[in-house]
Homo-oligomer: A and B are copies of this chain.
Amino acid sequence: MNMNMNMKPVRVGLLGIGTVGGGTYQVLARNHGEITRRAGRPIEIVMVADKDLARAREVTGGRTQITDDAFAVVNDPDIDVIVELIGGCTVARELVLKALNNGKHVVTANKALIATHGNAIFAAASKRGVMVGFEAAVAGGIPIIKVMREALTANRIQWLAGIINGTCNFILTEMRNHGRDFKAALADAQQRGYAEADPTFDIEGVDAAHKLTILAALAFGIPLQFDKVHVEGITQVAREDVAYAGALGYRVKLLGLARRRPEGIEMRVHPTLIPETRLIANVDGVMNAVVVRGDAVGPLLFYGAGAGAQPTASAVVADLVDVARSMSARPEHRVPHLAFQPDAVADVPILPVDKIESAYYLRITALDRPGVLADISRILADRDISIEAIRQPEPAEGQQQVPVIILTQRVMEQSINEAIKHLESLQSVQGPIVRLRVETLA
């Protein structure tokens, strides 16, 4: 392996040595030989910046220069690549832009930053002819960014759907397997370290929406448009709906879904019923999975750990190897940041949520009297909403209210919302109707 002698190492500055930063440092050290055999040259972290100098010292064991001034790292002329693992969109954004303007390549795991400032960041990178790697920003260790950018280039992508938030998937799995309600399952997730003390970003679907924004841009050749994603979290998912869905052969998952329609593109994150016969419906706990359907290849599924120090480090280091392999190639020969050439990004409209198409699960609380089903069926039929299945569990003895579960066929969301408004005005219907979307992913 005499190449190691001849090839100049890639000099990396690491910003942030918390969970993922520590994992990245460890993986690069542990697999140094194996990585060099692949990359053709050593990849070396030469400087680490972290506010917590004690932690930085502990992880690096005194083998790497440390500093609490991240700007000193991005301004160091001896550094080729910056790995940004600080997170957030304030200091991280400044540092990334500064690094790019200084002509350094950047690798980041920062989904919020890419989803909300990616267009500007990639423009800055292109201007200086440097690369931004962000494999770790979506689905942790699953190489979905590489797949979308490089492996599906023959295809017109029809849709993609992902379980891309491990916290939500853990909570929904617990609700199903142990009949827990949302709050109890969240508390369990927090105790196990799968949910943060403030879990808002995860359980409200914001984190999944960041990731979906990125995947949709790569799939359809559109700009990053986080503000156009329709986002619903899982806080309103009731234990009984998970159970009723199960009885009908469905699992409830928080899906990020992007679909090409003739009128435009759907981008949405929400709890979704999926038939249990689909592989993705059986992705449980904190694991992630993404299904992509291309017109040539058909459906593909990619499954793995969506978070964690070492899986995320696997993605960060893969990006570093890609940079090492192509940093001396001419910029126009590199893989474009958003899969399509920058001047070939298309301005396809993103559909508002009332124009999406989906099948629906409805739970209607009705008085147990004759004619209720006839009334409900008529209102749906009047709007051309076909019923796929209808279930009316026996009411408990003496109970006046019964749940009516309805699965509809695909229809425009506007229609179902109008039907729901009408149904809720029926005297025999009590309180609000629960509505969940159903996707067969066929």
* Given A37-B221, A38-B341, A329-B326, A141 and B300 contact (CB-CB distance below 8 Å): yes
B303, A155: Cβ atoms closer than 8 Å: no
> Could you give, for residues 7-39 of chain A, a 1 whenever the CB lies within 8 Å of some chain B CB and a 0 otherwise?
000000000000000010001101100111111
Is the pair B301, A297 in contact by a Cβ cutoff of 8 Å? no
Q: Is the CB of A3 within 8 A of B301?
A: no
Distance (whole angstroms) from the CB of A1 to the closest CB of chain B:
5
Q: With A147-B143, A314-B294 in contact, do A333 and B329 touch (Cβ < 8 Å)?
A: yes
B-contacting residues, A297-333, CB 8 Å? 297-305, 308, 310-311, 313-318, 321-322, 325-326, 328-330, 332-333
7 additional contacts (CB under 8 A) given A297-B304, A298-B311, A301-B301: A38-B153, A141-B296, A142-B300, A143-B300, A151-B318, A153-B321, A298-B310
Let me know if A421 is at the binding interface, CB within 8 A: no
| Alpha-carbon separation in the docked complex, A336 to B325 (Å) | 10
Q: Do B314 and A296 touch (CB < 8 A)?
A: yes
Partner of A334, one of B325, B339, B343, B346: B325
CA distance A317 to B150 in the complex (A): 11
- Interchain CB contact under 8 A, B340 and A153: no
In the assembled complex, A246 has its CB within 8 A of some CB on chain B: no
The 6 A-B pairs at the shortest CB distance, nearest first, are namely: A154-B317, A143-B151, A37-B344, A297-B314, A141-B297, A300-B304
- Interface positions of A from 315 to 372, Cβ below 8 Å from B: 315-318, 321-322, 325-326, 328-330, 332-336, 339-341, 343-344, 346
Which of A2, A141, A156, A315 has the largest count of B CB atoms less than 10 A from its CB? A141
Q: Are B296 and A31 in contact (CB under 8 A)?
A: yes
State A90–B316 Cα separation when bound (angstroms): 43
| A150 touches which of B30, B36, B146, B156 (Cβ 8 Å) | B146
Instruction: Give the shortest distance, in Å, between A95 (CB) and chain B (any CB).
Output: 23
Selected from B147, B282, B303, B332, the residue in CB contact (under 8 A) with A147 is: B147
Q: Report copies per complex.
A: 2
What string of 1s and 0s marks CB contacts (under 8 Å) between A38-71 and chain B? 1110000000000000000000000000000000
Report how far A310 CA is from B294 CA in the complex, Å: 10
Number of A residues near B (Cβ < 8 Å) is 71
A419 touches B (CB below 8 Å) = no
A426 at the interface (CB under 8 A from B): no
CA distance A2 to B325 in the complex (A): 29
Q: Which residues does chain B contribute within 8 Å of A3, judged by CB atoms?
A: 341, 343-344
CB nearest neighbor in B for A157? B34
- A283 within 8 Å of B (CB atoms): yes
Distance in angstroms from A373 CB to nearest chain B CB is 36
Contact (A305, B297) CB under 8 Å given A31-B154, A150-B322, A279-B282: yes
- Cβ of A374 to closest chain B Cβ, rounded Å: 40
